[in-house]
Amino acid sequence: MKALSQRRRHPLAAVALLLMGLLLTGGIYAVASNANQAKAQTTFSAGDIEEGEKLFVANCATCHGIGAVGTADGPSLIGVGAAAVDFQVGTGRMPLQMQGPQALQKPVQFTGEQIQQMSAYVASLGAGPAIPGEEELDLEGADPAAGGELFRVNCAMCHNAAAAGGALTRGKFAPSLEGVSDKEIYEAMVTGPQNMPVFNDANITPEGKQDIIAFLNIIEEQGSPGGADLGSLGPVSEGLFIWVAGLGVIIAFTVWLTSRSS
């Protein structure tokens, strides 16, 4: 008992307890994060993974390295999940057309089957967000009003309140969301492409993501009920139009008056 009591009073006991607490907290957080965000795709076959590796080596390894470990020209893809590959390759952003501030969208270079195979290979390297299925993209109970609030709080500062896109720093930009499919929007939220942050299920729940998609569908269907949208840039373009149009009317009226007096 005396020896045990002495150990309890050891000056490093508090440090040991603190380290144990930090390790336990970190482990719990990692498990929760994996449960919410890094759901591995389990429906891919071994054949898909094998063919996907061949496609990856032939088309992606130059920048991302053998085994997708990353190089100076491209980041590691271990743990990005199938959704990241499906988004980047499925929208034509990858393979990269040219080095620049961000990947530009272009015609898709691969078939749907090839994209699935590459997604399978990258998903096999480490757990990550899976390609959303029918359950994630079911908008039957979605609330566009709640989605609009979520969009304005989390997305509008880059994509514009009307989802028309906007300029960022150093030549980067947030693209317009008009014409973007529901699956691509969901994938972008869970993978965070380009300069976009990752919105995992701890940040925005799956239901919240469905609400955002429903809101975007609504504003796209409505178009611009107030007339010409002037780029959906708000008071900047509207004010410029008023100044130009107003000055034009004043100048035209002045010319008309002077011609009458002469």
Q: What is the 3-state secondary structure (H, E, C) of 126-148?
A: CCCCCCCCCCCCCCCCCCHHHHH
| Token digits of residue 11 | 């000056």
Confidence at residue 211, expressed as pLDDT on a 0 to 100 scale: 97
- Peptide bond before 95: cis, by omega within 30 degrees of 0? yes
Q: Cβ neighbours of residue 99 under 8 Å, at least 6 residues apart?
A: 73
| Token digits of residue 136 | 């994630």
How many angstroms separate the CA atoms of 189 and 204, rounded?
Answer: 9
Residue ranges for the known binding site for heme c are: 60, 63-64, 155, 158-159
> Are residues 181 and 216 in contact, defined by beta-carbon separation less than 8 angstroms?
no
User: Tokens 């009317």 belong to which residue?
Assistant: 249
> Are residues 41 and 127 in contact, defined by beta-carbon separation less than 8 angstroms?
no
Per-residue pLDDT of the chain (262 residues; tens, 9 = 90+): 455 455 555 566 666 667 777 777 766 655 544 444 444 445 789 999 999 999 999 999 999 999 999 999 899 999 999 999 999 999 999 998 888 889 999 999 999 999 999 999 999 999 899 999 999 999 999 999 999 999 999 999 999 888 988 888 888 999 999 999 999 999 999 999 988 999 999 999 999 999 999 999 999 888 665 556 656 566 666 777 778 888 888 888 888 888 876 5
pLDDT averaged over the chain?
84
Residue ranges for the known binding site are: 60, 63-64, 155, 158-159
How many angstroms separate the CA atoms of 85 and 213, rounded?
Answer: 20
Confidence at residue 229, expressed as pLDDT on a 0 to 100 scale: 61
The letter for the amino acid at 163 is: A
Confidence at residue 114, expressed as pLDDT on a 0 to 100 scale: 97
Domains of the chain: residue spans and CATH: 46-125 (1.10.760.10), 144-231 (1.10.760.10)
> pTM score, two decimals?
0.73
Distances, alpha carbon 55 to alpha carbons 66, 69, 108, in Å: 12, 16, 15
CA–chain centroid gap for 247, Å, is 42
169 phi, psi to nearest 5 deg:
-90, 160
